[in-house]
Homo-oligomer: A and B are copies of this chain.
Amino acid sequence: MRWIYAFDAADGLGRDLLGGKGFALAEMTRLGLPVPPGFTVTTEACRAYLAGQGLPEGLWAEIEAAVARLETQTQKRFGGTEGPPLLLSVRSGAPVSMPGMMDTILNLGLTLDGVAALARATGNPRFAWDSYRRFIQMYGEVALGVDAAHFDRLIEAKKAQAGVERDIDLAPEDLEELAYAFKERIREEGKTFPEDPWEQLKGAVEAVFKSWNNPRAKTYRRLYQIPDDLGTAVNVQAMVFGNLGEDSGTGVGFTRNPSTGEKGLYGEYLRNAQGEDVVAGIRTPEPLERLRIYAPDVYAELEKVAAILERHFGDMQDFEFTVERGRLYLLQTRSGKRTPEAAVRIAVEMAEEGLIAKEEAVDRVDANTLPQLLQARVDYARAPKPHLKGLPASPGAAVGHAVLTAEAAEAWSREGKPVILVRPETTPEDVGGMHAAKGILTARGGMTSHAAVVARGMGVPAVVGASGLVLDVEAGTFRLGDLELKEGDPITIDGTTGAVYAGAVPLVQGQGSQHLDRLLSWAEPFRKLGVRANADTPEDARKARELGAEGIGLVRTEHMFFAEDRLPWVRRLILARTPEEEAQALERLAAFQKTDFKGLLEAMDGLPVTVRLLDPPLHEFLPDRVALERKEAAGALEPHEAELLERVRVLEEANPMLGFRGIRLLLVRPEILKMQLTALLEATRELKAEGRDPRPEVMLPLVSGPEEVRAARALIDPLLEAYGLDVPIGTMIETPRAALLAGEIAREVEFFSFGTNDLTQLTYGISRDDAGAFAPAYLEARWWAFDPTAELDAAGVAELLRIAIERGRAANPALKLGICGEHGGEARSVRLAAELGLDYVSASPYRVLTARLAAAQAARRRERPVSV
């Protein structure tokens, strides 16, 4: 045999030749599991078919021989009319799972004579005619390309005529009439339904081959860069029937619970049904457990099968089976999808059971999902369909009263009411309200918009860029799609999936687990990359430390400036008209900052705390211009606001992200730098006096050249000397120019921290706050293969990292290198960071778990470089 392999003769052949489904069927057959006999037409045959004209030479003869063998094995005749005929299922099966391909044709081989024989043999004419009309319907749809709606309409008409509600209540005669009506319809569509079983088989095999090149499949392959010459296999298998009576049935099983990971059979079973009935959702399946009562032997056999499958495939399996008159048949198996929680538990328990190695368990879990294990989430089993979908910006779910302003969020929250802050987008002004809220929902912005970044930092669930959300803040109303709601109405957001619900939806609270702890304890020894946290408050720092952070990689000092008691002083600093006013404001701010820094250094005692000096432009600390302008135009501006408005107008920037901020601001207004640095040094000195071990580091933002760093050091070094403290000084590398000039910059500093948020924005020329307008279309069309604000771009941005690392280390071999952008908490990016040879990543507190696991995984796969 060359073009086809029987399931029991495919030993040692791989997935590429047999396709995923064929491979699994062959493996199960080899394991001695009860698989209906069949054979796989190889992907090679498909390739030959697509390359030439018609079926490749010899294929048909091989198929005829294989079918003959099936006849022997089943003791039935293909197209036979004496005794039950041999019926076949024909299914596609590419080496990689791929939508758009022709799927399944069941009951192939039935003819009018065969129906009669089948009715006789089973004593069940309803079954026979139902099998026939199903076959015609499937063949018509998938092999002949007739619109499914035609068949549905005919069924509806027939049910109306018969006065019944359910398909199952149609009489054999109805089904017979339907079969004829289906064929008539097919003819009207200009297609021919082949009456000859061999013609049927040939048509089905060719249809599968041809479906490789249907537009949807081609698009999918283009988007996901699946080679066009892979081809699909075709699996031809003897039919078994779950719809032969109450001792028959069909089901889907998992070897472990895919929601919880708990060991043991889990799944659904439908008595007296064919597989498609389960999929169609016409009848509600029962829990698989029930099979223990209906057919204890079968259930016991399934348990054994599950154990065998797991031992063989080394993973939790999702399998399909049919029980035909009390006899079990396995039709498919594959690794089962699972929740993050289940993934951890399964990996850990399978390792403990000796089914896989512990290292393998470490590799198995998607590190990106770990934060979800600690956070509340929607109880999907009990949740309705969401009203809107936005971007899943900060994981976890929250229920609360919708409030439309940050002030309202703070006010309601003071009264003890849980609130969800709903905004068009958030600004630094909203930070107080965001802190007060249980969750955040915005109409605009992308995965690294202000709302997303701040929410992740706070560990507050958030959905951003929910484009069906429209607010009328003044009227106190908002719309979720077509649904009109008002301020105070309860809503639920799911930051893990991006779902938004009107009303309160049941949540379940994530607790972490012993399994998670165990997994991380196995992972830890592999990890070479350091993991720090981005944290702005002592609470965040403590949380992060608990979760395994080895220091703080990024303190955003400006976040401290937005607190209610500080903002007025920041504004006084901005509005100061005399050096005295300025000095007074700075003095107050210094006192606040010292307290902040002490708290952070104390929480991270003995571990490094990297303080980034003031980063945003000053106007971020002033109120929104539009609101003030409107007040003024309406004659409602209060006297103290006039001054603010004037200043807001002067400081406003066309592109604040590229504006007067970071090192630019610190150099032009060095008093701010000195205030922050002094506060940090004072805090350090006091803690040392108390016997603590504070380890501050100072980081300069938005550097674009070595001159800036030299100028900053000229301000910093005398202060360090005055305090007699040895504090490492570093720069963010977040402009492309800083990366390119890293050699010169490295000579001036002790460390680099790659600010991959800004670096990504500048390398692409995108704004995290505005990308929402086109990013969904870009991802959909695969103009972006991934969202670069969420995942570090290996081709462009990472190349700048490579350049900077090479030049930086060459100029200063002692240079420490880290990432403190949001990417530091994303698994693929963490692996890339490890590949690049960084010393550490820094992630928001919950994402420390992701970073730790991903770093361990990266160390394990060091020999396999990340593809670019």
Contact = CB atoms under 8 A, between A and B. Distances in A.
Nearest to A758: B765
A182 to B, nearest CB: 38
Contact of A765 (B425, B653, B702, B782): B702
B626 A773 contact: no
A769 interface: yes
A800 interface: yes
Interface in A624-671: 625-626, 629-635, 653-660, 664-665, 667-668
A795 B706 CA distance: 11
Given A658-B770, A705-B796, A770-B660, A735 B763 contact: yes
Of the listed residues A770, A785, A796, the one surrounded by the most CB atoms of chain B closer than 10 A to its CB is A770
A634 B770 CA distance: 29
A653 B762 contact: no
A767 B800 contact: no
Contact of A736 (B653, B707, B758, B800): B800
A655 B765 CA distance: 10
Contact of A800 (B635, B740, B761, B783): B740
Of the listed residues A711, A736, A797, the one surrounded by the most CB atoms of chain B closer than 10 A to its CB is A736
Nearest to A630: B633
A216 interface: no
Contacts of A707: 782-785
A741 interface: yes
A708 interface: yes
Contact of A767 (B654, B665, B668, B734): B654
A658 B766 contact: yes
A425 B660 CA distance: 17
Contacts of A799: 740
A793 interface: yes
A764 interface: yes
A65 interface: no
Contacts of A667: 774, 777-778, 781, 783
A737 interface: yes
A634 B800 CA distance: 50
Contacts of A629: 626, 629-630, 633
A704 interface: yes
A656 B655 CA distance: 7
Contacts of A705: 783-784, 795-796
Contacts of A635: 634
Contact of A653 (B708, B767, B777, B778): B767
Contacts of A711: 781, 783
Contacts of A633: 629-631, 633-634
A707 B784 CA distance: 8
A626 B736 CA distance: 34
A741 B770 CA distance: 23
Contacts of A659: 767, 770, 773
Nearest to A443: B650
Nearest to A773: B660
Contacts of A626: 625-626, 629
Contacts of A795: 705, 737, 740-741
A700 to B, nearest CB: 13
Contacts of A761: 658
Given A633-B630, A783-B707, A783-B708, A770 B655 contact: yes
Contacts of A660: 770, 773-774
A436 to B, nearest CB: 23
B783 A764 contact: no
Of the listed residues A630, A631, A654, A799, the one surrounded by the most CB atoms of chain B closer than 10 A to its CB is A654
A425 B765 CA distance: 23
A770 B740 contact: no
Interface string A602-627: 00000000000000000000000110
B765 A797 contact: no
Nearest to A793: B737
A654 B654 contact: no
A737 B784 CA distance: 13
A629 to B, nearest CB: 5
Interface string A826-851: 00000000000000000000000000
A650 to B, nearest CB: 9
Contact of A634 (B634, B773, B774, B784): B634
A764 B782 contact: no
Contact of A762 (B702, B740, B765): B765
A774 B653 contact: no
A758 B658 CA distance: 12
A668 B763 contact: no
Of the listed residues A711, A764, A783, the one surrounded by the most CB atoms of chain B closer than 10 A to its CB is A783
Contact of A656 (B654, B762, B800): B654
Contacts of A770: 653-656, 658-660
B769 A654 contact: yes
A737 B801 CA distance: 12
B658 A765 contact: yes
A826 B192 CA distance: 73
A786 to B, nearest CB: 11
A767 B702 CA distance: 13
A84 to B, nearest CB: 53
A781 B425 CA distance: 38
Nearest to A655: B767
Nearest to A631: B633
Nearest to A712: B783
A808 B773 CA distance: 30
Of the listed residues A740, A741, A785, A793, the one surrounded by the most CB atoms of chain B closer than 10 A to its CB is A740
A629 B474 CA distance: 13
A665 to B, nearest CB: 8
Of the listed residues A626, A658, A764, A777, the one surrounded by the most CB atoms of chain B closer than 10 A to its CB is A658
A630 B628 CA distance: 9
Interface in A791-805: 793, 795-797, 799-800
Contact of A704 (B741, B764, B767, B773): B764
Interface string A120-141: 0000000000000000000000
Nearest to A649: B424
Nearest to A659: B770
Contacts of A740: 763, 795-796, 799-800
Nearest to A766: B658
Interface string A192-233: 000000000000000000000000000000000000000000
Contacts of A796: 704-705, 736-737, 740-741
Given A633-B629, A667-B783, A796-B737, A658 B708 contact: no
Interface in A725-752: 734-737, 740-741
Of the listed residues A708, A711, A778, the one surrounded by the most CB atoms of chain B closer than 10 A to its CB is A778
B737 A778 contact: no
Given A659-B770, A660-B774, A741-B796, 15 more contacts: A425-B654, A630-B630, A633-B633, A633-B634, A655-B656, A657-B658, A658-B766, A658-B770, A668-B778, A705-B795, A734-B765, A737-B763, A737-B765, A737-B795, A762-B763
9 contacts: A629-B629, A653-B767, A653-B773, A655-B658, A659-B767, A660-B774, A737-B763, A741-B795, A758-B765
Top 10 A-B pairs, shortest CB-CB distance: A658-B767, A630-B633, A737-B796, A655-B767, A654-B769, A660-B773, A735-B765, A736-B736, A633-B633, A659-B770
